[in-house]
Amino acid sequence: METSLVLFVVGFFILITGARFLVKGAISIAQILKISSWVIGVAIVGIGTSIPELAINISSTLAGNNVGLGTIIGSNTFNLLMILGLVAFFSPIYVKPEWYKDILINILVVVTASVIILFPVLGDTTFEGLTRAEGGLLFTLFILWLFVMLKRKGIEDDGIDYQILTISSSVVFIIAGIIGVFVGGRWVVDGAETLAAIFSIQPAIVGLTIVAIGTSLPELTVSLVALIQKRKGVAIGNIIGSNIFDFLGILGITALIKPLPVLERVQFDTFATIGASFLVAFLIFILGKRGVLSRSEGVILILSYVAYLTFIILNI
């Protein structure tokens, strides 16, 4: 057990460090190419902070377990309820009208991907999970979203001066980051699978809880730092970009590599993620002042996640 725990913890450290290197290199390249900092915040940082989930998904799929899918679903629920809840609790979020579209796109993405996860849409209709054809559809939608993001005009800059490295240094950071996230991801999956066997619980449960929260640490860090710097657009954009990449990009890439089976345990939690998306939209657009996520509403999100996590633990 000690070896599995060490493997799990060290793997997480390598994973998060690799993700930081990868994001730093990607941001530098984006700055050199004159890509707007809003796009960097939403698309590149949002995608970059989800690289750990990508590594874990590919590793777990090749290993034949549901740790990865559980991680995606659990991470998104954590992002929407706990991270946004904490940000709103410390300082109310005033959502600008130009952000409304991205929030609604996030809901549409979660619902669309969830329908494809739960019901046969393309490919082998007898396969309970994501087929390669469905993975291709999700990945195509991700590329379309990314293209639209890069072409968007008139979005207010987030005002952050990102560090610009030389091209050679940026490439080194990116390569080191890729190696780190995939080595770390493999170790995390191996450790999680062993721990699940030791405690006689499903690997998907480990993914939904410990691994999901752990891989959401980059999003949590970015959002809290952005909050301290009074860059709430990045705090929200990071979550939106991360969620969209998780459900379209990561699930799409993973299913293209190998069809992804979906266990009944994970199906329930998919509905929880859908519910979290609608709850955030309800609090922002309907309850209280329109376009504001207040401190009390932040508490509602936090308590909702605590209730969800308690339900999972009690039903292990």
pLDDT, tens digit (0-9, with 9 covering 90-100), for 185-238: 667 666 766 766 666 666 556 656 666 676 676 666 666 666 665 665 556 776
The two structure tokens encoding residue 297: 């509403």
> Pairing state of beta strands 260-261 and 129-130?
antiparallel
Domain of 18, in residue numbers: 2-314
Whether 44 and 30 have beta carbons less than 8 Å apart is answered as yes
Cα angle for residues 133, 137, 138 (degrees, 5° grid): 120
CATH number of the domain at 19, please: 1.20.1420.30
- Give the relative orientation of helices 217-228 and 2-32 as an angle to the nearest 10 degrees: 50
- Res. 125: pLDDT tops 80: no
- What pLDDT sits at residue 67? 65
Share of residues in the chain with pLDDT > 70 (%): 63
| Distance (Å, whole) CA 72 – CA 215 | 9
Kindly report the pTM of this predicted structure: 0.73
Whether 110 and 103 have beta carbons less than 8 Å apart is answered as no
Mean pLDDT value of segment 50-63: 75
Give the residue, 214 or 58, on which the prediction is more confident: 58
- Res. 154: pLDDT tops 50: no
Instruction: With cut-offs at 50, 70 and 90, classify the pLDDT of residue 310.
Output: confident
Domain count, the chain: 1
Q: Which helix (H) or strand (E) holds 94?
A: strand 93-94
Q: Of the candidates 279, 264, 272, which has an alpha carbon nearest to the alpha carbon of residue 310?
A: 272
Whether 71 and 208 have beta carbons less than 8 Å apart is answered as yes
101 in the Ramachandran plot: left (φ > 0), alpha (ψ -120 to 50) or beta?
alpha
Q: Of the candidates 156, 151, 117, which has an alpha carbon nearest to the alpha carbon of residue 137?
A: 117
Whether 130 and 115 have beta carbons less than 8 Å apart is answered as no
| pLDDT tens string 248-262 | 888 888 888 888 877
| Distance (Å, whole) CA 196 – CA 190 | 10
Whether 20 and 177 have beta carbons less than 8 Å apart is answered as yes
Q: Of the candidates 36, 34, 85, 50, which has an alpha carbon nearest to the alpha carbon of residue 240?
A: 50
- Give the relative orientation of helices 2-32 and 51-63 as an angle to the nearest 10 degrees: 130
The two structure tokens encoding residue 48: 């970059």
Mean pLDDT of the chain: 75
- What pLDDT sits at residue 129? 77
